[in-house]
Amino acid sequence: MLKCELDTPALILDLDKFEENLIKMRDFAAKYGKKLRPHAKTHKCPEIAKRQLSSGNCAGICVAKLSEAEALADAGIQDILITSPVVAPQKIARLTILNDKISNLQITVDSKYQVEMLVSAFRNRKPLHVLIDVDPEMGRTGVPFEQAVEFGEFIGTFPELILDGVQCYAGHLQHIVSGTERNAQSTRLMQQGAAVFRQLAAKFPSCTVYTGTGTGTSAADVLIPELTDIQVGSYCMMDSEYLAVEHTGPAYAPALTMLSSVISANHPGHATIDAGTKAVYVTPGAPAQVIEEDSPNKDIVYSWDFGDEHGHLTFPENISFTPGETVELIVSHCDPTVNLFDHLNIVKNGEVIARWPITLRGCCR
């Protein structure tokens, strides 16, 4: 097949599975009256972001970094939420330019220091729309639930900022293996976020957005009445990490795979491929999986212990590989693995039909 003629390692996106995943998540969210706000940190590809928007039922696209937002804006996308605080003075200067460039920019805020920096930068400019980032007991970013309303009242004193709502993203829950435990923990936290949102919405007419969740907790979070949209990312590609957990909602196909080549097979029971840590992000609990005929082969185990350049396959002695043979992997964690490549090879019926640039690759600022 044509895809086997690619230089390896190479990222493959199965177009049929990808489109099926988009439709499945779109319809699932719509069933519960929620909109999608797909997270571009997963795919880092403007073409995918545009297809997510055009598939319908989208509130916009979200990103983790200002540089990602700038790249999407350059590609013509107008509705963008930056889900991490922007604080450094040089970044806030860039933020003022981006806010003038697109029609609907939103950012998250979580400190009075950040708010004061923004107020100073946006004085006598187009107002900036903000969401309060609440901390779902994760300790990464966000204000505690009990401080969020007071923080919102502080924001409301500044005409330079428009308070659009609340973000609550429990990233630490997304890969809990037990669906029952994951759903229960997420429901508890998202309900606290909902209480904050209700109080702020009663004080500020502009406060109409309660956003958050991820692919792993989406089945529970859509049951929160106040939630307006879901920031799902991995659903469009999937990876071994997500496939290892118990799903309580729709099942999404592994549309993203990696093509690799066997470069040495001199020993029984193991072989070396050309995809090491420079190609496959290290997620020890959920290594990449070798697939055959569209299903993982549990007898073949991938590991990173051969270093940067090389992947290590181990298998029973009744299995053998030959140098030059092609191996297809479900990657361990799609987001950072995609960040290691320049483009996605788009495959339909076993043939490469397009190459989509990973334009947001390396956008870490």
User: What pLDDT does residue 284 have?
Assistant: 84
pLDDT in tens, 86-108: 999 999 999 999 999 999 999 99
Closest to 362 (Cα-Cα) out of 346, 333, 341, 344: 341
Asked if 161 and 105 count as a contact pair (C-beta separation under 8 A), the reply is: no
Cβ count within 10 A of residue 101: 13
Residue 294 is predicted with a pLDDT of 86
Q: What is the pLDDT of residue 140?
A: 97
pLDDT per residue as tens digits for the range 61-70: 999 999 999 9
Q: In the chain, which ranges are continuous DSSP H helix? A: 15-31, 46-54, 66-74, 89-101, 112-121, 145-155, 179-203, 218-221, 240-243, 334-338
Q: Note whether 276 and 308 are within 8 A (CB).
A: yes
pTM of the complete model: 0.96
CB burial of residue 191 (10 Å; 0-12, 13-18, 19+)? middle
Which residues of the chain fall below pLDDT 70? 1-2
Q: What is the pLDDT of residue 2?
A: 60
Largest CA distance in the chain: 73
Beta bridge partners of 270: 267, 314
The β-bridge partners of 296 are 291
| Gap between the Cα atoms of 130 and 132, Å rounded | 7
